[in-house]
């Protein structure tokens, strides 16, 4: 497996493979790889001839008071993990390589959805995500890209961007990978103390309880939402938001749920660590 750090080198490496008809899969990450990322890599390896894992801590999707500086950085370990799963290349550009003129003035954005849910509390976050993802698509020329469903709003926005801007790439959603306890795997789980890790189960337990209630016939959006909120609060978490949204449009649901498929989106703090999770209601 090869680590590539320049855009030109990646293009020169992948171009002949594309000409041979090889199907190229891209797994965009910010590093600190865990089993959740591993599931994305496995999916790419199974679907594609060549798998590229990008490791790039994208500064333009972090706010001023967020955890960019303390975000885990371990390229060598990430590369070994990616190689062990079957990745062919790791693309690990510097910030200077990706943004040679500083923060870009040309940004990709969704004016309606970028300011909802996570975007309401992280201004500019999704502009940064969509911009860097579009750059990675164009740099790699990948046929397929793989994203985890834990970041539900993110993958929805990426799918919408691909459709709206006619990117010639197929987006694959990969199911949430959870720890044995049920906690969704995240690089930020490393920040949790043992006590906070136990408390953080409040978010997953609340989502499970809400789904059980839904499957038993509960259709009140407020009651479904309150089930999750109460579970987080009981676990000593601080709720940032809990919302029920349409899987088709990602717009908030109100009143009573009908036949349209919905998803519960949640974000909460346990200690100083912000975690997100979701549960589809089908």
- 34, 37, 125, 172: which is the annotated catalytic residue? 37
Residue 144: helix, strand or coil by DSSP? Answer: strand
Residues 6+ apart with CB under 8 A from 222: none
Q: Residue 120: exposed, middle, or buried by beta-carbon count in 10 A (0-12, 13-18, 19+)?
A: middle
Active site residue 125: no
Strands (E) located in the chain: 2-4, 24-29, 50-55, 89-91, 144-148, 170-174, 238-246, 262-270, 273-281
Distance between CA atoms of residues 251 and 247, nearest Å: 8
Three-class DSSP category at 44:
helix
How far apart are the C-alpha atoms of 139 and 29, rounded to whole Å? Answer: 15
Q: Is 194 helix (H, G, I), strand (E, B) or coil?
A: helix
Residue 273: what are its φ and ψ, rounded to 5°? -100, 125
222: which 2 tokens? 């407020």
Cβ within 8 Å of residue 56, ≥6 positions away: 28, 29, 30, 31, 91, 92, 93, 98, 132, 136
CA dist., res. 219 & res. 259, Å (int): 10
d(CA 152, CA 74): 26
Looking at the annotation, which residues are catalytic? 37
């Amino acid at each position: 497996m090869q680590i590539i750090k320049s855009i030109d080198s990646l293009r020169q490496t992948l171009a002949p493979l594309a000409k041979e008809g090889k199907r190229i899969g891209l797994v965009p990450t910010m590093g600190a790889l865990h089993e959740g990322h591993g599931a994305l890599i496995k999916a790419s390896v199974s679907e594609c001839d060549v798998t590229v894992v990008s490791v790039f801590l994208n500064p333009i999707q972090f706010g001023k008071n967020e955890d960019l500086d303390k975000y885990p950085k371990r390229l060598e370990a990430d590369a070994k993990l990616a190689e062990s799963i079957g990745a062919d290349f790791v693309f690990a550009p510097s910030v200077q390589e990706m943004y040679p003129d500083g923060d870009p003035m040309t940004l990709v954005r969704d004016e309606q959805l970028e300011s909802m849910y996570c975007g309401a509390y992280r201004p500019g976050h999704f502009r940064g995500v969509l911009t860097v993802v579009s750059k990675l698509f164009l740099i790699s020329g990948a046929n397929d890209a793989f994203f985890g469903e834990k970041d539900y709003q993110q993958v929805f926005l990426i799918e919408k961007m691909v459709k709206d801007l006619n990117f010639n790439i197929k987006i694959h959603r990969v199911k949430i990978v959870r720890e044995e306890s049920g906690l969704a795997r995240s690089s930020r789980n490393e920040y949790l103390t043992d006590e906070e890790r136990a408390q953080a189960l409040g978010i997953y337990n609340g989502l499970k309880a809400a789904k059980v209630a839904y499957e038993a016939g509960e259709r009140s959006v407020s009651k479904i939402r309150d089930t999750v909120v109460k579970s987080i609060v009981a676990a000593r978490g601080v709720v940032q938001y809990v919302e029920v949204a349409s899987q088709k449009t990602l717009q908030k649901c109100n009143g009573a749920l009908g036949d349209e498929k919905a998803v519960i989106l949640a974000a909460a703090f346990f200690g100083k660590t912000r975690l997100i999770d979701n549960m589809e209601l089908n």
